[in-house]
Amino acid sequence: MTLNYHNKRGSLTDPIIGMILILSVVLTIFAVVTFWNQFADQIEVSTADSVANETISEDLVALTSYYTWFDWGVPLLVVGLLLVSLITALKSGASYIYSVVSVISWTIVVFVSWVLKEIFDEYASYFPTMAAQYPIINIIMTNISIIAVIWAALISIVMFAQNKSGDSDINSSLSQYYG
């Protein structure tokens, strides 16, 4: 099976899919780190009387310290998804007739981002220590609506600005092909 991405066009649904992806990544991070913390606590209790207790404790602390990069990984994910959306939106133009559809898409983006923020708030309330351990993730997820609106605005600007040059590029290539 081969994946073919060369015909990908940017659209206003990219922020919705991106936000769902970001929320799923954040919830997975919380679940994995919660599992790891419980596992590390149980290993420390199990090896308390062992000769290798000091070595195991040092290794667990070292491994746990590596998980702080999750907090910096989510902003990189957001910026990466935004850049991919903007680059693919450059390939597509939109007529101003579709501005009504754009406004409807914006309202859907705002509604979905509000729902995802509420899901994160509910999930974070069950794991308050995890939310405290990852402040950058917490900031991003509590402001996901603002990020989604900025994301949709940038895509709209790029798509509607690309219209004239995109049409001229298409017309010139069609005239070269068909004569």
The contacts of residue 21 (CB under 8 Å, 6+ apart) are: 77, 81
Instruction: Reduce the DSSP state of residue 2 to 3 states and report it.
Output: coil
In a domain, 111, yes or no: yes
In a domain, 136, yes or no: yes
Question: CA-to-CA distance for 20 and 25, rounded, in angstroms?
Answer: 9
Percent of the chain with pLDDT over 90: 1
At residue 116's C-alpha, the angle toward residues 112 and 117, to 5°, is 115
In a domain, 121, yes or no: yes
The letter for the amino acid at 145 is: S
Instruction: Reduce the DSSP state of residue 166 to 3 states and report it.
Output: helix
Over residues 66-77, the pLDDT tens digits come to: 887 888 888 888
In a domain, 90, yes or no: yes
Q: Per the structure, how many domains does the chain have? A: 1
Asked if residues 18 and 115 have their Cβ atoms less than 8 Å apart, the reply is no
In a domain, 179, yes or no: no
In a domain, 178, yes or no: no
Question: Where is pLDDT greater, at 14 or 83?
Answer: 83
User: Which structural domain range is residue 59 located in?
Assistant: 14-166
Token digits for 32? 């994995």
Kindly report the pTM of this predicted structure: 0.70
Mean pLDDT of 82-108: 74
In a domain, 24, yes or no: yes
In a domain, 176, yes or no: no
Over residues 110-167, the pLDDT tens digits come to: 888 889 899 999 888 888 888 888 888 889 988 988 888 888 888 878 777 765 555 5
How far is residue 9 CA from its own chain's centroid?
18
Identify the band that residue 10 occupies on the pLDDT scale cut at 50, 70 and 90: low
Q: For residue 53, what is the enclosing H or E element?
A: helix 53-66
Identify the band that residue 3 occupies on the pLDDT scale cut at 50, 70 and 90: very low
